[in-house]
């Protein structure tokens, strides 16, 4: 027999102590929905000791009533359902997954550059700016089209995940990646980011952290 599972008694979301990246969309979704959770923020000094205890040596990680879940999009889907920010329609849900998975592919291309320094990082970031990043940005912009939101005619996890990616790329914290890259390559994604930020629940989240 199948049925609706009981609401969780406790939720703990563990991710690095910064805003952005793979764990931020879930943080925002839980906050927007007013769902209490432990926001466990890991500083890099303690990451080496924690890493072997995670299922795949990475974060984010979600603990619900003592059960653990890893992989950011699995977390996003679960949290999205709790928060009412994930489509119920099967096709719209698949489209939401398509967008979130595209962002993960972009993260996968970018991740090696974070372990590089100096000229090596500069060369890799310039390669990314010349090809892979614009490829994903244009693809995502094509999926958005002229709609206000990616799927379901409303704010969903897809919008949160893309908006945080736009924020990260435009932040100036990524050496050798121009802050106007998204605006120049995919202006509709930059506009989406502004709409997400203007959502009352999202705005309240950022205000709480002085962002």
- How do the domains of the chain map onto residue ranges? 11-85, 90-199
Separation of alpha carbons 14 and 63, rounded Å: 8
Q: What is the pLDDT of residues 75-84, one digit of tens each?
A: 999 999 999 9
Q: What is the pLDDT of residues 49-105, one digit of tens each?
A: 999 999 999 999 999 999 999 999 999 999 999 999 999 999 999 999 999 999 999
Per-residue pLDDT of the chain (211 residues; tens, 9 = 90+): 344 567 899 999 999 999 888 999 999 999 999 999 999 999 999 999 999 999 999 999 999 999 999 999 999 999 999 999 999 999 999 999 999 999 999 999 999 999 999 999 999 999 999 999 999 999 999 999 999 999 999 999 999 999 999 999 999 999 999 999 999 999 999 999 999 999 999 999 999 988 8
Partners of 68 in beta bridges: 63
- Alpha helical stretches, state H, the chain: 24-32, 44-50, 72-83, 90-114, 118-130, 132-144, 157-169, 181-185, 187-198, 200-208
3-class DSSP state of 52: helix
**pTM of the shown model:** 0.94
C-alpha Rg value of the chain to the nearest Å: 17
Whether residue 110 contacts residue 133, with contact meaning beta carbons closer than 8 Å, is answered with yes
Its CATH class, for the domain covering 90-199, is: mainly alpha
CATH topology (fold) of 11-85: Glutaredoxin (3.40.30)
């Amino acid at each position: 027999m199948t049925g609706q599972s009981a609401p969780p008694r406790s939720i703990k979301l563990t991710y690095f102590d910064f805003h952005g990246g793979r764990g931020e969309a879930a943080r925002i979704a839980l906050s927007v929905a007013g769902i209490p959770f432990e926001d466990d923020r890991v500083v890099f000094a303690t990451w080496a000791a924690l890493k072997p205890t995670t299922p795949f040596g990475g974060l984010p990680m979600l603990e619900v009533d003592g059960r653990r879940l890893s992989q950011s999009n699995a977390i996003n889907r679960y949290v999205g359902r709790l928060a009412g920010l994930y489509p119920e329609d099967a096709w719209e849900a698949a489209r939401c997954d398509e967008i979130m998975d595209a962002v993960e592919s972009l993260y996968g291309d970018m991740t090696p550059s974070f372990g590089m320094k100096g000229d090596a990082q500069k060369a890799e970031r310039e390669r990314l700016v010349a090809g892979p990043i614009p490829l994903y940005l244009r693809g995502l912009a094509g999926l958005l089209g002229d709609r206000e939101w990616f799927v379901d005619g409303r704010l969903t996890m897809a919008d949160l995940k893309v908006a945080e990616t736009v924020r990260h790329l435009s932040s100036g914290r990524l050496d050798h990646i121009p802050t106007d890259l998204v605006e120049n390559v995919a202006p509709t994604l930059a506009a989406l980011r502004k709409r997400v930020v203007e959502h009352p629940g999202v705005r309240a989240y950022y205000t709480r952290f002085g962002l």
